[in-house]
């Protein structure tokens, strides 16, 4: 009886183990089925593709029109051509270049799942994206340094326009040099199993790729952010010291007017830097994870899934949208740009006239006397 009972217990335990394995297997199959369903939706859903294409189309149109308008507005009048505004032209040209090349091709390449373009474009696209990021961060750094010099040493002679041209040349050359490894190691690879070609980075060693990724992140974001923070902190300390000084009433009014102009410009420039960093950090973190996690099975599994496609599009579209915000920021925070945009765009001019008429009719006791606008005072060169 004892042996029979022992055999029965062993049979029951084996049966329980078998049933448990079946339950776990079915659960895993169900989870995998749901995961594959999400992946298929991410990669093959027509609705998602339409939404993504619409997002990129909006970014393309607004990026080209907005930044082209910024370039035209600054070059249109001599009083708008301050050193800071000329640096803003550099930013606008960089954003236009990125929008023209990166925005239309990226969704097409991902959706086609095959490289159908020339080798030159394969090498050019990644490098151009890297160059535009470098140009944006280095130009923002140059603007911060120029503002700091003008504010701290305000009684010294102003920097000549040659400073802008020298800074622009150095910025573009340095950006191209830092980004050229992408063009060197980018190549078209052919997959015999799927009979498709793809544009990929072929580094001599994974460590080389990881070093390049980390170095790019440091040079593109960490170093510029440290310099920019130091410059604007210095400007803030100088403004606080000026506010605490005891001077005459007339001098105080003039000083406060100047400090208000400086604060307004610094506020706009800081907002530009913050928006740019917020837009680009997610995509750079994604590349950091995939490039540094080449030995991780979980990272490689994620990189080959449809989840990665969705995450990539979210991060990439956010990065591309950085080319859209600056023109709106100038209009919102700088009266000179706002007045120029009103003059250039008839629709905005009529909208402002309607708004002013409505405001004056609704509050007759508080009508403002017509004043002659002095564009020169509000120009960033005097901030």
CATH number of the structural domain spanning residue 180: 1.20.1070.10
pLDDT band at 31 (very low <50, low <70, confident <90, very high): very low
Question: CA-to-CA distance for 246 and 110, rounded, in angstroms?
Answer: 63
Tokens standing for 196? 């498709």
In a domain, 35, yes or no: no
Phi, psi of 295 (to 5 degrees): -95, 0
In a domain, 11, yes or no: no
Residues found in the chain:
383
In a domain, 27, yes or no: no
What's the confidence (pLDDT) of residue 59? 93
- Is there a contact between 110 and 187 (Cβ–Cβ < 8 Å)? no
pLDDT band at 43 (very low <50, low <70, confident <90, very high): low
**Where in the sequence is the domain holding 231, given as residue range(s)?**
40-357+370-382
Mean pLDDT, residues 364-382 = 40
Phi, psi of 186 (to 5 degrees): -85, 130
Indicate whether 48 pLDDT > 50. Answer: yes
Question: CA-to-CA distance for 145 and 129, rounded, in angstroms?
Answer: 24
In a domain, 23, yes or no: no
Q: What is the pLDDT of residues 169-192, one digit of tens each?
A: 999 999 999 999 999 998 888 777
In a domain, 12, yes or no: no
Indicate whether 39 pLDDT > 50. Answer: no
Where is average pLDDT lowest: 31-35, 260-264, 288-292?
31-35
Phi, psi of 203 (to 5 degrees): -80, 150
Question: CA-to-CA distance for 218 and 215, rounded, in angstroms?
Answer: 5
Q: What is the pLDDT of residues 117-174, one digit of tens each?
A: 888 888 888 898 899 989 999 999 988 888 888 888 876 777 777 778 888 899 999 9
Mean pLDDT (the chain) is 76
Question: CA-to-CA distance for 69 and 59, rounded, in angstroms?
Answer: 15
Q: Is 113 left (phi over 0), alpha (psi -120 to 50) or beta?
A: left
- Please give the tally of structural domains in the chain: 1
Structure-derived torsion over alpha carbons of residues 92, 97, 98, 102, reported in degrees to the nearest 10:
160
What percentage of the chain reaches a pLDDT higher than 90? 18
Indicate whether 338 pLDDT > 70. Answer: yes
Question: CA-to-CA distance for 109 and 249, rounded, in angstroms?
Answer: 64
In a domain, 8, yes or no: no
Question: CA-to-CA distance for 321 and 141, rounded, in angstroms?
Answer: 20
What's the confidence (pLDDT) of residue 227? 92
Contacts by residues 376-381 (CB-CB < 8 Å, ≥ 24 positions apart) = 376/79, 377/261, 378/261, 378/334, 378/335, 378/336, 378/339, 379/79, 379/80, 379/82, 379/85, 379/336, 380/82, 380/84, 380/85, 380/265, 380/334, 380/336, 381/82, 381/83, 381/84, 381/85, 381/158
């Amino acid at each position: 009886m004892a042996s029979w009972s022992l055999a029965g217990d062993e049979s029951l335990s084996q049966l329980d183990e078998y049933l448990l394995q079946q339950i776990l297997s079915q659960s895993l199959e169900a989870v995998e089925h749901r995961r594959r369903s999400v992946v298929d939706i991410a990669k093959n859903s027509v609705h998602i593709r339409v939404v993504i294409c619409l997002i990129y189309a909006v970014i393309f149109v607004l990026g080209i029109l907005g930044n082209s308008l910024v370039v035209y507005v600054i070059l249109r009048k001599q009083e708008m051509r301050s050193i800071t505004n000329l640096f803003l032209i550099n930013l606008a040209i960089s954003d236009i270049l990125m929008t023209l090349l990166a925005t239309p091709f990226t969704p097409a390449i991902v959706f086609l799942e095959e490289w159908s373009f020339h080798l030159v474009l394969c090498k050019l696209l990644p490098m151009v994206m890297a160059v535009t990021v470098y140009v944006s961060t280095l130009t923002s750094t140059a603007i911060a340094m120029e503002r700091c010099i003008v504010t701290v040493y305000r009684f010294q002679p102003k920097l000549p326009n040659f400073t802008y041209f020298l800074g622009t040349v150095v910025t573009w050359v340095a950006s191209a040099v830092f980004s050229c490894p992408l063009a060197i190691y980018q190549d078209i690879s052919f997959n015999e199993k799927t009979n498709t070609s793809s544009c990929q980075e072929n580094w001599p060693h994974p460590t080389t790729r990881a070093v390049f990724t980390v170095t790019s992140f440091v040079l593109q974001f960490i170093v510029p952010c440290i310099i920019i923070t130091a410059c604007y902190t210095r400007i803030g300390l100088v403004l606080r010291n000026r506010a605490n000084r005891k001077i005459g009433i007339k001098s105080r009014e003039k000083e406060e007017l100047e400090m208000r102009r400086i604060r307004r410009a610094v506020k706009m420039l800081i907002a530009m830097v913050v928006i740019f960093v917020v837009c680009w950090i997610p995509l750079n973190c994604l590349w950091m994870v995939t490039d540094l996690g080449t030995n991780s099975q979980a990272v490689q599994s994620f990189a080959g899934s449809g989840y990665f496609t969705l995450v990539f599009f979210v991060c990439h579209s956010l990065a591309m949208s950085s080319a859209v915000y600056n023109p709106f920021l100038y209009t919102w925070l700088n009266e000179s740009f706002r007045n120029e945009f009103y003059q250039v765009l008839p629709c905005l001019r009529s909208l402002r006239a309607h708004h002013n008429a409505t405001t004056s009719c609704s509050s007759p006791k508080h009508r403002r006397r017509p004043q002659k606008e002095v564009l020169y005072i509000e120009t960033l060169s005097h901030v």
